[in-house]
Amino acid sequence: MSDKAPSPVLPSHDDVNLDRAAAILGEGGLVAVPTETVYGLAADATSPHAIAALYAAKGRPRFNPLIAHVDSLERALSLVDLSPAAQALAKTVWPGPLTLVGRHRDDSPVCDLARAGLDTLAVRWPDSPAMTGLISRLNRPLAAPSANRSGSISPTTAQHVADSLGSRVNLILDGGPCRVGLESTILADTPDGLVMLRAGALEAEHIEALTGKALKRADASAAIAAPGMLKSHYAPDCPLRLNVTEPAPGETYLAFGQWRGDSANAVLDLSSTGDLAEAAARLFAHLRKADALGKPIAVAPIPPEGLGEAINDRLARAAAPKDN
């Protein structure tokens, strides 16, 4: 990998570019790939060499395991054991923003380093022709965390990836802005049923409607937790405060719903109509824009239901004190 030249950025909709990306991945390289949730930084999940490079490029602690991306339920089941309930959910939602954590199979080729040594593995079939096209070409699962430096704001455009990772990635595939804009919902498949480890793009209410069961949430003290759910994450450099209805003069305001601000504030609308899907799609890009203005950031209250759960989760982590 070069230290100087910026990474090439190529359209993801072109087979020639996917062939080129697959060749890079096959040699242990790193490719940023658009998905419906956020851009992922893909590497061959079976190659310890590639996964070591991935952790280094992100500056990610090695105790934090990666999601193995797949292109079919069949491939997922070659990597992990999933209960009938988890499989039924996967069948209705995949390809889509759902990640399932199951027991890692002994005959799975995913390397220890990608799992941070755990005996479980997270799997997801994304709604992304680019990512699934690469997996099919390689005929291997791809590990793909969000394509940003660890702890910073997740990328929803190719430009965000370039800004965050610079030349640390061998190629960036550009598929335009991500449709959903928030990471997948993570569920652990446990003997006690499905447990939500991370709120995300698939709403808890939707999962409950599909399974007919109340969804359990992992609390911080639970034995099973997503190791990556650090308190401070998605963090802008500027201070950020939440649930603000009256921003102080000079603060950059992230508004939700009707807002009659005055000129003392720069205002970025998450959604002027109060639409949570619109706010989710804009959240990370607006946090970056607000951060670039260099002023303290204030965010309007976001209702807690539906996608609001994941939006509030990301905002709480963005506002948390950085002690790492």
Please report, as ranges, the residues that interact with ligand TXA according to CB under 6 A.
Answer: 35, 37-38, 40, 64-67, 97, 99, 101, 118, 120-122, 124, 126, 144-146, 183-184, 186, 197, 226-229
Separation of CA 135 from chain center: 18
Rounded to a whole number of angstroms, the minimum distance from the CB of residue 89 to ligand TXA is: 16
Tell me the window of 42-50, 133-141, 144-152, 270-278 that interacts with Mg ion (CB under 5 A).
144-152
**Residues 6+ away with beta carbon under 8 Å from 262:** none
H-run or E-run covering 34? none
Number of residues that bind Mg ion (CB under 5 A): 1
By a kind-dependent CB cut-off of 5 to 8 A, residue 316 interacts, out of Mg ion, ligand TXA, none, with: none
Helices (H) and strands (E) in the chain, counts: 9, 16
CB of 257 to ligand TXA, least distance (A): 26
Q: State the burial class of residue 299 (Cβ atoms within 10 Å of its Cβ: 0-12, 13-18, 19+).
A: buried
Nearer to ligand TXA, 128 or 265 (CB): 128
Which of ligand TXA, Mg ion, none does 120 bind, CB closer than 5 to 8 A by kind? ligand TXA
Q: Least CB distance from residue 274 to ligand TXA, whole Å?
A: 24
Among residues 89 and 186, whose Cβ is nearest to ligand TXA? 186
Cβ-based neighbour number of residue 113 at 10 Å: 20
Nearer to Mg ion, 132 or 146 (CB): 146
Q: Does 146 bind Mg ion (CB under 5 A)?
A: yes
Residue 27 makes CB contacts below 8 A (sequence gap 6+) with none
Specify the residue, 114 or 290, whose C-beta has the smaller distance to ligand TXA. 114
Q: Which amino acid is at 70?
A: V
Least Cβ distance, residue 180 to ligand TXA (angstroms): 8
Q: What share of the chain is helix, strand, coil (3-state, %, to 5)?
A: 30, 20, 50
- If DSSP states are collapsed to H, E and C, what string results for 227-252? CCCCCCCCCCCCCEECCCCCCCCCCE
Nearer to ligand TXA, 183 or 291 (CB): 183
